[in-house]
Amino acid sequence: MKRVLLINPNTNEQTTAAMLAIARETAAGRLQIEAVTAPRGVPMITDAPALREAGAVLAAMIPELRAGHWDGVITAAYGDPALQALRDGLACPVTGIGEASMLEASLLGPFAVVTTTPDLAGSITAMAGRLGLSAVFHGVFLTDGDAVAVTRDPAVLVERLEEACLAALEATGSLQVKPASLIIGGGPLAQAARALKDRVPVRLIEPIPAAIRRIGLMVRNQTE
């Protein structure tokens, strides 16, 4: 069985455990999924400097990752820290939860990203541009309140994300081509994304399952 490593670029072990559980559920035994937490950094990445710092931490892990002989690697923060460095430094396929979710959403049509971190909106928009998806990207929509405080309370997080999803649909309702899906953008939001599936009247894209589906395909394509 192919071995895939999910790297949490922040230092929150609870986030790592939640993402790993969802990743393993999605893989359904077709991949052996393990996870590791960044050895230093911040508990939650909320701005571009923290995203860059996380990228540097992950890049420094490349020799260790290479020694692990993984068949695939996922960088599991929404800004995809160190994605290119990991691809350059490792022989195995690498994806990020941002890349995977945007590419999956784009197959359905126009999409928007709903998240908690206003200071990462520019990075998310830039990622859509790098992927060549600007024409179908309808922007970033944000929850009310401080990102760390909102994320700390699971019930509040689900409520605020639902409000932001509905606001996104209302804001884009006058567009000729409305969003076909919304991405819940962020590793720490993985469990909340599951809770929202029946509460929002549009397809929701969960980044962790999207990344597992993408890395599974990449691994199979490399071995064929």
For residue 124, give the CATH number of its domain.
3.40.50.12500
Q: Is the pTM of this model over 0.85?
A: yes
Predicted pLDDT of residue 95:
98
Predicted pLDDT of residue 190:
87
In eight-state DSSP terms, residue 53 is H
Listed as ranges, residues in the chain with pLDDT below 50 are none
Q: Which residues constitute the domain of residue 218?
A: 3-96+209-223
Predicted pLDDT of residue 89:
98
The CA-to-CA distance between both ends of the chain, in Å, stands at: 15
Task: For residues 33 and 129, state if they share a domain.
Answer: no
Task: For residues 15 and 38, state if they share a domain.
Answer: yes
- Split into its structural domains, the chain has a count of 2
Task: For residues 108 and 181, state if they share a domain.
Answer: yes
Task: For residues 25 and 77, state if they share a domain.
Answer: yes
Q: How many CB atoms lie within 10 A of CB 135?
A: 8
